[in-house]
Structure 1
Amino acid sequence: MIITTTNSIEGFTIDRYLGLVTGEVIAGVNLVKDIGAGLRNLFGGRSQGYEEELLTARESAQRELVESAQRLGADAVVGVDLDYEVLGQGDMLMVSMTGTAVALSYRG
């Protein structure tokens, strides 16, 4: 399935707009990652624990987005927007993806 932030896909015509689709994930960040991130904050460097958590959450949100689009019979999702939010006391991360599911035909 094609996933794009643009509103069109080169080489294809959008035949039908099937509706809004979303993928949303709320992930908790554990104490061990918090301690590691705190040390990196103090001494410098990247927080691998948080980066892995972000990657996992983003991949899960995209998987949900694709599954929603597939249920509608879509070939692609256009106009995708990706958002990150911190919830609670900073111990929860929300990743959300939204877009428009579309049916395509090849222009070739």
Structure 2
Amino acid sequence: MIVTTTPSVEGYVITGYYGIVFGEVISGINILKDIGAGLRNVFGGRSQGYEDELVNARNQALAELEQRAAALQAHAVVGVDIDYEVLGQGDMLMVTASGTAVQLAPKNA
């Protein structure tokens, strides 16, 4: 499945729209990552624990988006947007991916 931030797919024409699809993930940040991030705030540097959690949540949200589009028998998801939000007392991370599920056909040469 093609998943893109662009409104179209090069070499293809959109022949059908299935509507907006979403992938949402809410992930808890554990105490060890909080301690590590706190130390990084004091001494500087990147928080690998938080970065890993962010990458994992984003990948899960995109996979869920793709699964929902596939359930509609879409060929692609165009116009994909990814949003990040911190929930609760800063201990929960929400990642939402959204886009339009579409059917594609190759362009005539």
Q: TM-score range by the shorter chain?
A: over 0.9
4+ runs deviating over 4 angstroms: none
1:33 — aligned with what?
A: 33
- 2:43 alignment counterpart: 43
Secondary structure of 1:5's aligned partner: coil
What is the CA–CA distance in structure 2 between the aligned matches of 1:81 and 1:36, rounded to whole Å?
Answer: 30
> Who is 2:15 aligned against?
15
For 2:53, the equivalent position in structure 1 comes to: 53
**Distance in 1 of aligned mates of 2:41 and 2:74:** 43
Q: Secondary structure in 2 aligned to 1:90?
A: coil
In structure 2, the partner of 1:63 is 63
Q: Name 2:99's counterpart in structure 1.
A: 99
Fraction of identical pairs, as percent: 65
Superposed CA deviations along residues 36-90 of structure 1, whole A, max 9, x for unmatched, are 0000110000000000000110010001000000000011000111000000000
Amino acid in structure 1 at the alignment position of 2:95? V
Name the structure 2 match of 1:6: 6
State the AA in 1 paired with 2:11: G
Please give the per-residue CA displacement for 1:13-53, whole angstroms capped at 9, x wherever unaligned.
00000111000000000000000000011000000000000
* Structure 1, unpaired ranges of 5+: none
State the Cα RMSD in Å: 0.6
| Whole-angstrom CA distance in 2 between matches of 1:87 and 1:56 | 17
In 2, the alpha carbon distance for the partners of 1:106 and 1:91 equals: 46
How many pairs were matched up?
108
User: 2: CA distance between counterparts of 1:12 and 1:40?
Assistant: 47
Question: Could you tell me which amino acid in structure 2 is paired with residue 87 of structure 1?
Answer: L
- State the alpha-carbon separation in 2 of the partners of residues 106 and 20 from structure 1: 22
Amino acid at match of 1:58: R
